[in-house]
């Protein structure tokens, strides 16, 4: 598998000829139409062919540079070609390129929709999912839950070998509520009732894991929240359930702000089975134009997290969407519209905008002006930005990745994931 960035005068036909891949394979993997004009700067996955590939050594290449190009180690490439001296290769020599060994990870996908279409998506991508998280069961002040009508999606997951994970949140009609979680954590009856209610619901509905996504927790309740995690984890472990938390992306332990102060990375790493770090929303619907998950910022968060949480407990969040801003941006008034990768590329094609790539954020973007003279800016995810995130997972040996969210067309992501990893099933 390779990623090609479209240049001026490229066509699907000449790319198929250049890479020796059937044109239809490129079309299918990238979920595009053969008749669609390519966009300058567009990232295209060039799919791999079955069996061993070959590489003809060019002037200036070394075995090390060739191995790196194909995601192999020097030892793997030398062994495949029975080379005892890696330095002794010659220009014009044909090398066998074996398929790389895939890293095994866990993959989670949050699902908000609970209809038959959502169930069909779970079935379609089931090979690439360890967990499908039903988002969400909302807690009430008395420790009971607002139940989710998730039967069709939950049963589709179970039938497809995907572990259904139950998400509980402190979301009220106004959004995540600090008052709601404060009341539950500070009331012994509600606190105990919530643990019992969650346990009973998981047993009745066939859940295999729990995800606790409590946000905007008052700083004074930090230790109460840690104790709640200890109590609910100990209770659910009796039944063989896994427990996870979702946490805000932090750069340091004492990071100020209500999103961060009560998310104690060290305590979570010690208590629960795994932690989903929500490494997205730097660029968000109410903020100025920016990459949704800039790799430089994501890497800082993961680097800090590794000082507090074991790597085998960290699941890195990945967004399956981008945002479209109309300028000028007005704080408190402007709202960016979310869009999928293919929707972003179609918009660039329609507006005849070239796609650029920010090497610091490792994210694609483009801009254009409308008929009224207003500037538009779009940041989104593509094969290059996703591959950069997958490389980070491999570099740090993380437990896996968690997508926010399913229900957004992302065919290229699932192909790319399968080329990089073996997905663990539980």
What are the residue ranges of helices labelled H in 351-382? none
326-353 per-position pLDDT tens digit: 999 999 999 999 999 999 999 999 999 9
The answer to whether residue 215 is catalytic is yes
48-74 per-position pLDDT tens digit: 766 667 899 999 999 999 988 887 888
- Stretch 371-384: mean pLDDT, rounded? 97
- pLDDT of amino acid 52: 62
Exposed / middle / buried, residue 143 (Cβ in 10 Å: 0-12, 13-18, 19+): buried
First to last CA, the chain: 28
Residue pair 129/109 in contact by the 8 Å Cβ criterion = yes
The number of residues in the chain equals: 426
Residue 16 has pLDDT above 70, yes or no: yes
Judge: domain 2-97, CATH 3.30.70.141: no
- Stretch 292-316: mean pLDDT, rounded? 98
- Stretch 354-377: mean pLDDT, rounded? 98
- pLDDT of amino acid 50: 64
Percent of the chain with pLDDT over 90: 93
For 157-168, letters b (16+ CB in 10 Å) and e give: bbebebbbbbbb
Q: What is the DSSP letter of 220?
A: G
Q: In the block, which residue shows the tokens 């994501």?
A: 298
- Stretch 272-278: mean pLDDT, rounded? 99
CA 376/CA 289 separation, integer angstroms: 9
E strand intervals along 113-203: 131-139, 145-146, 163-169, 171-172, 175-176
137-152 per-position pLDDT tens digit: 999 999 999 999 999 9
Task: Write a three-state SS string for 162-174.
Answer: CEEEEEEECEECC
- pLDDT of amino acid 229: 98
187-229 per-position pLDDT tens digit: 999 999 999 999 999 999 999 999 999 999 999 999 999 999 9
- Stretch 298-310: mean pLDDT, rounded? 98
**Class for the domain spanning 103-423:** alpha beta
- Stretch 232-240: mean pLDDT, rounded? 98
List, by residue range, all CATH 3.10.350.10 domains of the chain: 2-97
Residue tagged active-site, from 106, 121, 183, 215? 215
List, by residue range, all CATH 3.20.20.80 domains of the chain: 103-423
- Stretch 381-390: mean pLDDT, rounded? 97
pLDDT band per the 50, 70, 90 thresholds, residue 362 = very high
């Amino acid at each position: 598998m390779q990623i090609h960035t479209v240049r001026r005068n490229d066509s699907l036909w000449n790319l198929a000829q250049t890479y020796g891949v059937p044109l239809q394979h490129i079309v299918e993997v990238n979920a595009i139409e053969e008749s669609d004009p390519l966009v300058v700067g567009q990232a295209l996955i060039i799919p791999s062919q079955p069996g061993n590939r070959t590489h003809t050594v060019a002037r200036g290449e070394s075995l090390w540079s060739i191995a790196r190009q194909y995601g192999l180690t020097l030892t793997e490439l030398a062994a495949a070609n029975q080379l005892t001296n890696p330095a002794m290769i010659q220009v014009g020599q044909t090398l066998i390129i074996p398929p790389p060994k895939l890293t095994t990870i866990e993959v989670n996908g949050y699902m908000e929709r609970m209809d038959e279409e959502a169930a069909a998506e779970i079935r379609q991508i089931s090979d690439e999912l360890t967990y499908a998280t039903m988002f969400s069961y909302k807690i009430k002040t008395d420790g009971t839950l607002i139940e989710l009508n998730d039967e069709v999606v939950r049963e589709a997951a179970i039938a497809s070998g995907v572990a259904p994970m139950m998400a509980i949140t402190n979301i009220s009609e106004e959004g995540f509520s600090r008052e709601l979680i404060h009341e539950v954590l500070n009331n012994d009856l509600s606190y105990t009732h919530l643990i019992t209610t969650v346990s009973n619901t998981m047993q009745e509905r066939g859940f295999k894991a729990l995800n606790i996504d409590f946000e905007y927790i008052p700083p004074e309740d930090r230790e109460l929240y840690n104790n709640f995690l200890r109590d609910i984890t100990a209770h659910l472990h009796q039944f063989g359930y896994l427990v996870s938390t979702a946490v805000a992306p932090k750069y340091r332990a004492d990071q100020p702000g209500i999103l961060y102060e009560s998310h104690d990375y060290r305590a979570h790493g010690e208590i629960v089975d795994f932690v989903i770090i929500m490494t997205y929303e730097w660029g968000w619907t109410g903020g100025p134009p920016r990459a949704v998950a800039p790799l430089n910022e994501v890497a800082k968060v993961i680097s800090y997290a590794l000082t507090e949480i074991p790597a085998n407990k960290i699941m890195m969040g990945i967004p399956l969407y981008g945002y479209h801003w109309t300028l000028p941006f007005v704080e408190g008034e402007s709202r960016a519209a979310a869009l999928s990768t293919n929707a972003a590329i179609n918009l660039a094609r329609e507006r005849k905008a070239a796609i650029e790539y920010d090497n610091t954020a490792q994210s694609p973007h483009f801009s254009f002006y409308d008929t009224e003279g207003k500037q538009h800016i779009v940041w989104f995810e593509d094969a290059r930005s996703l591959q950069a995130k997958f490389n980070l997972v491999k570099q740090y040996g993380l437990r896996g990745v968690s997508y926010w969210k399913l229900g957004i067309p992302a065919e290229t992501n699932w192909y790319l994931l399968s080329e990089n990893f073996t997905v663990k099933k539980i």
